[in-house]
Chains A and B, each alone.
Chain A
Amino acid sequence: MEIPYTVNTRADTGVNNVKLGIWLFLASEVMLFGGLFSSYVLLRVGAEPGTWPLGAEILSIPLATFNTVVLITSSVTMVMAWASLKLGDLGKYRLYMGSTVGLALVFLVVKMFEYADKFSHHLYPSESTFLGIYFLITGLHGLHIVGGIIVNSYFLVPGIKMWHTAPERFTNRIEAAGLYWHFVDLVWIFLFPVLYLL
């Protein structure tokens, strides 16, 4: 059975189903991370005065700044991958999509070093409320990075064959994957100052 409206616009929504679908998913993601941000605010406001640590005292600002740059750059390579498909340049698509996956892996490796450094100092989620919410939110964000790597790797290697049979549909898939990836970047843009700098 053919999936309807993967390329054509629906008359009632004005968009194709790929775009509406991914935006509805992102709306649910906003609520998922929103709930955790809300918990963070509640825990911080409710903490005994003077007990909430400054992120910078425990966490590494240089590493997090580096990771911020990495993730923003990967957002640019992702949108360039989509633009390359719109221009019909599959070679450049491969280059940009490969870079996006590579940068995402760099982000995870840096995050792994950060976690390892905390564990080596016996700073576990059970150590304090701050570390509990820090590991929870950055861990969930990290899982989203892993999800993005899996999806983008699929579109880089096996999934790319759709380009030869249905290029417009494939381009829409990359746009949807890109919307997800930019969202993951967007969450980090808020996580970075909230957890590390304040």
Chain B
Amino acid sequence: MSVDSAEDIKKHVKVYIMVFVALMVLTVVTVGVAYLTLTVPVAITVALIIATIKSSLVANYFMHLAAEKSAIYWTLLVTAACFLVLMFVPLFAVLDSIGR
């Protein structure tokens, strides 16, 4: 447990409110962009960039990852690596030429 003073916590609360406002604005932007007539690859890229910004706000501030210990960072680094492998599995399927 971190040893945050009452003053620190009150500062945190102000940050939480700012992050909340930012998340709401980004939600509106996400929906707004969807109504623009973008091509599918551009729409996917924009939507994923906004979602990544939103999720990093949640992870860094609500989940306190911005000031976490290295044991947690290492755990997440391994997770991120495994997650990337998972995301590339469909690519292997597309590139597979056996039996064609």
Contact = CB atoms under 8 A, between A and B. Distances in A.
B75 A76 contact: no
B69 to A, nearest CB: 4
Given A27-B75, A42-B89, A198-B44, A189 B55 contact: yes
Interface in B37-94: 40, 43-44, 47-48, 50-51, 54-55, 58-59, 62-63, 68-72, 75-76, 78-79, 82-83, 86-87, 89-90, 93-94
A193 B75 contact: no
A64 to B, nearest CB: 9
A16 B68 CA distance: 12
Contacts of A76: 16-17, 19-20, 62
B13 A193 contact: no
A9 interface: yes
Interface stretch (A78-86, A98-106, A123-131, A150-158): A78-86
Interface residues of A, number: 53
Given A69-B24, A73-B20, A186-B55, A14 B31 contact: no
A140 B15 CA distance: 31
B90 A193 contact: no
A35 interface: yes
B75 A24 contact: yes
Among B4, B10, B13, B63, find the residue whose CB has the most chain A CB atoms closer than 10 A: B63
Interface string B10-41: 10110011011001100100110010000010
A100 B10 CA distance: 20
Contacts of A69: 24, 27
A146 interface: no
Contacts of A171: 1
B27 A68 contact: yes
Interface residues of B, number: 47
A130 B86 CA distance: 20
Given A14-B70, A37-B87, A193 B48 contact: yes
B1 A172 contact: yes
Contacts of B93: 42, 46
B30 A192 contact: yes
Interface in A20-67: 20, 23-24, 27, 30-31, 34-35, 37-38, 41-42, 45-46, 56, 61, 65
Q: List 3 A-B pairs, minimum CB-CB distance, nearest first.
A: A193-B47, A42-B90, A197-B34
Interface of B: 1, 4, 6, 9-10, 12-13, 16-17, 19-20, 23-24, 27, 30-31, 34, 40, 43-44, 47-48, 50-51, 54-55, 58-59, 62-63, 68-72, 75-76, 78-79, 82-83, 86-87, 89-90, 93-94
